[in-house]
Structure 1
Amino acid sequence: MEDNNKLDLMSDLPCEILRHIISFLPLKEAVRSTSVLSTTWRQLLAPLSVNLEPNTKGIANIQQVLGRFLRSYVSHERLKLISFRAAGDDDGEDLKDDVGLIAMATKGVEKELHLHFMENSRKSRTIDHGFHLKMQQTLVLGNVQSFSSLKTLHLRSVDHHATRLVSDLFACCRRLESLTLEKCGGLEDLHVEGCNSLQSLTILDCGDIVSITICARNLKSFSYRGVLPRMQLQSASDLVEANLDFRYGVGGNEFDLEEVLCLLDSLKEVQILTLCGWLLEMDQSFSSFPCPFFHQHWHEPHLWMDYEMVKSNTSQLKHLKIFELSGFSSDDSELLLMELLLNKAVVLESMIVT
C-alpha cells in the first residue's frame, strides 16, 4: 500500500532538467519512454504545429521552417517534434492546393533528423503516383548552414509531392553519415550519389521500387529489405557490411539472373554479407518453371556448370570473415555451398549454421 502511494517526484522537476535527463537516451528510446510516462514527460515532446499560408511557396517555406527548427535547439534538448503543412505552391509544382502535405519532424542532439511524410487528401490516396527520387549533393544556397551539420537523416513515407523537398534537403547535408528511406510507396527509381561523407545507407519496405543506383565511395554499411530490384552499387570498394533481404521476391519486376550475379560480384570485397534465403531456395511446389522465366538465360554457363567447374571458375572471397546460414536443412546444395565458401573464403573467421 505504501509503495502505491509514492509520489512521482521526478515529474515535478523543471522542464530544463527533464530535457537534460532524456538527452542521455537514444532518440527512439526517448520517444518510446516518454509516451508511457506522466503528462509532464509527454508534454516535453508535444509537437509544435506550423501551418503555412496558402499564398506562399510551399517548398521554400518548408525549408525555412526546418532550417529554423534545426537552429533552435540547444545541446541539452534531446528532441522536439514539429508538424507542418504545405498548403500550396504558386507555380503548381510538387505541392498541390488539394493535397496538403503533412509531415512530422523529429530531431535529436546527435545531429539527427527524422522526417515522416503523410498524405492529407482522399484524392491523392486514390491515385497511384510512381516517381523517381534523385539524391545528389551539389553546391546549393539558402539554408545550407542549417542542414550542413546533420549526420543522420531518416525519411519515412516520402511520396511524389515531396521529391523536390527531399532532394534539396539532401543536397544541403554536407556531413551526412547515415541515410534511411522507409516505406516510400510509389518510389520506383532511386539514385543516390555524390555524398562522400555517407557511411551507412538503409532502404526498407519500398514496395514499388524497380531500380536502385548507389554511388557513395566511402559507404561502409548497406542494408536493403524489400522486393528484388535492379540494383547497382558503384564505387563500393570500401563497403564492409551488406545485408540484402529480398523476402518479397521479384514483386512486379522481372527476374534477371545476370543482374543478380553482377550485384553479388560487386559485393565480393565485403567482410560481412547477409543474404535472405529467397536467393538460395526454390519453391518445392513448382515441378517446372514456365517460360519466359528463364528463357533469356538458357545459354548461360551459370545454369549448367557442375560443382567442380563452379569451384574452379569462381574467385576467392578475400575479405569475407563472417558467414551465417539460418534454416539449414542439410540437403546437398547447402552442403556444397558451405564447402565452396570454406574453399574460397580464405580469411573466414566465423561460420554460423542454424
Structure 2
Amino acid sequence: MGSHVIDHIDMISSLPDEVLFHIISLLPFESAIQTVFLSSRWRLLWNLALIQHGRKEDVAGAVSGFLVNFNEQDPTKNNRKLKFHFDKGHVLLAIIAPNNKLHLDFSSGNQEIFRKYGWELELNQPNLTLQPTPSTFFVKSLYLISVNHLTNEAVSSMVSNFQFLENLKIIECSGLRSFRIESTIKLLHLTIFDCPMLQSLHIKSFKLKTFRYRGLLPWIKPEYHFNLADAMFDSRAGPGYTTFSSCDFDGVLLTIKNAEILTLCKWFFKELVCPSLSSFRSDFQFYKLKELWWIDTSTQDYNNDALISFLKLCPSLERLFVTIDPKGYRTESGTVTCSKQVGKHTKLGHLKVVKLEGFTSQKNEILLAEHLRGILAVEPQILAKADGDDRVRSLERKSAQSYDRNFCFKFVEMEDVKDFCPKHSHMRV
C-alpha cells in the first residue's frame, strides 16, 4: 500500500477577518496576545497599530480620539493598538483589550532617569457629555504602566473622564513617590505593583472591595474604613517608610478586618498588625477570613510563633498557604506574640488545606504541623513542596504503632496532585 501525504491545512487562519477578530475579542488579554505565535496572519491582525506623532500635551487627546473612534460592534474596522511618539523619543503604547480593558504603557522609548513626583487621580467624575452609545468603547479596566513625571498629568486628565472605571492597575511607576486616589462612584479594584520609590499612599474610596499591593510598603492612609473583601500586602521587600508607628496602621487594620482573602508578611504582622491590636478591644478577630497567604523569611531555626498568634485571630479560616522567601525582609525585633489581644478563642474548626512552600528543612515543616495541632479542631490536608522540586508530599499522622516521642507526622509523596495542590488567589497575579 502506498503512503499517503496529508496536507495539514490551517482552517482557522483562513477564516475572514471579522471572524478572527471576534475570536480574539472573546479571549482574555493574556491569551489574546499569544495568538501572534499561531501564524503570520494572526500576527498581522494583532500587531496592526495606528501610529501618530505629537507632543506631551497631545497624549490625552490622542488616546481620547483612539477610544472614541473604536467600534466595539465592528472590530474589523478598528485598530486595537495606538503607538504615539512624543518629545525626544518617548512612546505611549495604548492597547484595547477584550472586556473593556485599556493598557497604557509608557515603558518603551526613551528611558531617561525619571524624577520623583507626586500624583493625584480623581476617578469616575460625572460627565453628562459622555453617555454610552453602541459604537463607543468605555473603559472598565485600566492598566497604567511606567507612568512618569512627564506623563502623569496627561494620564490624570484622560482618566478623569473614565466614569465607568471599576478596575485600576498601576505597575512599575519608578519615580512615583506619593499617590493619592479618589473615587466616589464606581472603583471596586485597585492594584499597585512594583513602584520602588512610593512612600505615601492615600486612598479615598467608598466602594473599594479589592486592594492588592506588591513592593516596599509605604505609609498608607485609607480615607474611609471601607470593607475590603480581598487584601494583598506582599511587602516582602520590606518597609519603604522609615517612621512607622502602631497608630499609623489603625485605619488599615479596620479596613482589612472583614477581608475574606488576605496576604501578609511575617514582619508586617509583627511590626504593624500586632502593636495596632492593642488599640482595639480584646475580642478583635478577622472573623470572615477564609484564605490566607503568609510570607515568611528563611532562618536556620524557623520560628512559627508569629504565624500561630495570627491564626488565633482567624476562626473561619479554610485555606492556609505558607511561603518561605529567603530574600525577604527580616525584622530585627524579637519574638512577638499577641496572646493578650486574642481574647476568647475557640479552636479553628474549618481549616481544610495547608500548603507549605520553600521550606529547606522537613523538620521545620513537621514542627509547624505539630504546632498547628494545638489550635485546630479538625484534621486538614497538609501539603509540602520544596523549593525547586515539583514533588508534593502530604504530611499525615503516624499510626499508633509507629508513634514516637519526637513527631506525630510523617511524609507521604503524592503522585496525582492536581486536585490537592491549589494556589492562593494572589499567587496568580
TM-score normalised to structure 2 length: 0.63
Q: Give me the whole-angstrom Cα distance separating, in 1, the residues matched to 2:285 and 2:206.
A: 23
Shift in alpha-carbon separation, 1:267–1:7, aligned structure 2, 3 A: same
Coordinate RMSD, CA, aligned: 3.6
Give the unaligned 5+ runs of structure 2: 316-343, 357-429
1:14 pairs with one of 9, 13, 16: 16
How far off its partner does 1:165 sit? Answer: 1.5
**Which structure has the higher relative contact order (CA within 8 Å, separation 6+)?**
1
| Counterpart position of 1:201 | 190
Shift in alpha-carbon separation, 1:223–1:331, aligned structure 2, 3 A: closer
| Counterpart position of 1:293 | none
Q: Which moved more, 1:7-16 or 1:238-247?
A: 7-16
Could you report, residue by residue, the CA deviation over 1:296-338 in whole angstroms, capped at 9, with x for unpaired residues?
Answer: x9xxx949x9xxx899735233433434546695633433333
| Counterpart position of 2:392 | none
| Counterpart position of 2:175 | 186
State the SS of the aligned residue for 2:212: strand
Shift in alpha-carbon separation, 1:14–1:233, aligned structure 2, 3 A: same
Structure 1 contact 79–109 (Cα < 8 Å) conserved: no
| Counterpart position of 1:291 | none
| Counterpart position of 2:28 | 26
Q: Give me the whole-angstrom Cα distance separating, in 2, the residues matched to 1:198 and 1:41.
A: 34
How far off its partner does 1:144 sit? Answer: 7.8
Shift in alpha-carbon separation, 1:76–1:198, aligned structure 2, 3 A: same
Q: Which amino acid aligns with 2:42?
A: W
Q: Mapping of 1:156-171 within 5 angstroms?
A: 156-171=145-160
Q: Give me the whole-angstrom Cα distance separating, in 2, the residues matched to 1:141 and 1:37.
A: 43
Structure 1 contact 178–201 (Cα < 8 Å) conserved: yes
2:305 pairs with one of 310, 327, 332: 332
Q: Give me the whole-angstrom Cα distance separating, in 2, the residues matched to 1:324 and 1:64.
A: 40
TM-score normalised to structure 1 length: 0.75
Q: Which amino acid aligns with 2:263?
A: T
Could you report, residue by residue, the CA deviation over 1:188-236 in whole angstroms, capped at 9, with x for unpaired residues?
Answer: 1111102421111111111111111111111111100010101112224
How far off its partner does 1:135 sit? Answer: 0.8
Structure 1 contact 174–195 (Cα < 8 Å) conserved: no
Q: Which moved more, 1:267-276 or 1:174-183?
A: 267-276
Shift in alpha-carbon separation, 1:189–1:15, aligned structure 2, 3 A: same
State the SS of the aligned residue for 1:52: strand
| Counterpart position of 2:228 | 239
Q: Which amino acid aligns with 1:15?
A: D
How far off its partner does 1:19 sit? Answer: 1.1
How far off its partner does 1:255 sit? Answer: 4.3
Could you report, residue by residue, the CA deviation over 1:257-296 in whole angstroms, capped at 9, with x for unpaired residues?
Answer: 32245422332122322213342479xxxxxxxxxxxxxx
Q: Give me the whole-angstrom Cα distance separating, in 2, the residues matched to 1:193 and 1:310.
A: 27
Shift in alpha-carbon separation, 1:171–1:312, aligned structure 2, 3 A: closer
* Residue 254 of structure 1 pairs with residue 255 of structure 2: no
Q: Which amino acid aligns with 2:179?
A: L
Structure 1 contact 200–222 (Cα < 8 Å) conserved: yes
Q: Give me the whole-angstrom Cα distance separating, in 1, the residues matched to 2:250 and 2:171.
A: 26
How far off its partner does 1:74 sit? Answer: 2.9
State the SS of the aligned residue for 1:20: helix
Structure 2 contact 217–238 (Cα < 8 Å) conserved: yes
How far off its partner does 1:148 sit? Answer: 8.1
Q: Which amino acid aligns with 1:173?
A: F
How far off its partner does 1:239 sit? Answer: 1.8
| Counterpart position of 2:73 | 74
Q: Give me the whole-angstrom Cα distance separating, in 1, the residues matched to 2:120 and 2:140.
A: 19
Q: Which moved more, 1:153-162 or 1:270-279?
A: 270-279
Q: Which amino acid aligns with 2:49?
A: L
Q: Mapping of 1:109-188 within 5 angstroms?
A: 109-118=98-107, 120-121=109-110, 125-126=112-113, 128-137=114-123, 138-139=125-126, 149-188=138-177
| Counterpart position of 2:326 | none
Structure 2 contact 81–95 (Cα < 8 Å) conserved: yes
2:259 pairs with one of 264, 267, 270: 270
Structure 2 contact 177–198 (Cα < 8 Å) conserved: yes
* Residue 36 of structure 1 pairs with residue 37 of structure 2: yes
Q: Which amino acid aligns with 2:291?
A: I
Q: Which amino acid aligns with 1:254?
A: T
Q: Give me the whole-angstrom Cα distance separating, in 2, the residues matched to 1:330 and 1:74.
A: 58
State the SS of the aligned residue for 1:12: coil
| Counterpart position of 1:317 | 286
Q: Give me the whole-angstrom Cα distance separating, in 1, the residues matched to 2:106 and 2:4.
A: 47
Give the unaligned 5+ runs of structure 1: 87-96, 283-296
Q: Give me the whole-angstrom Cα distance separating, in 2, the residues matched to 1:223 and 1:21.
A: 31
| Counterpart position of 1:90 | none
Structure 2 contact 166–188 (Cα < 8 Å) conserved: yes
| Counterpart position of 1:225 | 214
Q: Give me the whole-angstrom Cα distance separating, in 2, the residues matched to 1:341 and 1:3.
A: 64
Structure 1 contact 11–41 (Cα < 8 Å) conserved: yes
Structure 1 contact 49–83 (Cα < 8 Å) conserved: yes
Q: Give me the whole-angstrom Cα distance separating, in 2, the residues matched to 1:228 and 1:326.
A: 14
Q: Give me the whole-angstrom Cα distance separating, in 2, the residues matched to 1:153 and 1:63.
A: 13
State the SS of the aligned residue for 2:192: strand
Q: Give me the whole-angstrom Cα distance separating, in 1, the residues matched to 2:27 and 2:233.
A: 29
Percent identity for Structure 1 against Structure 2: 25
State the SS of the aligned residue for 2:151: helix
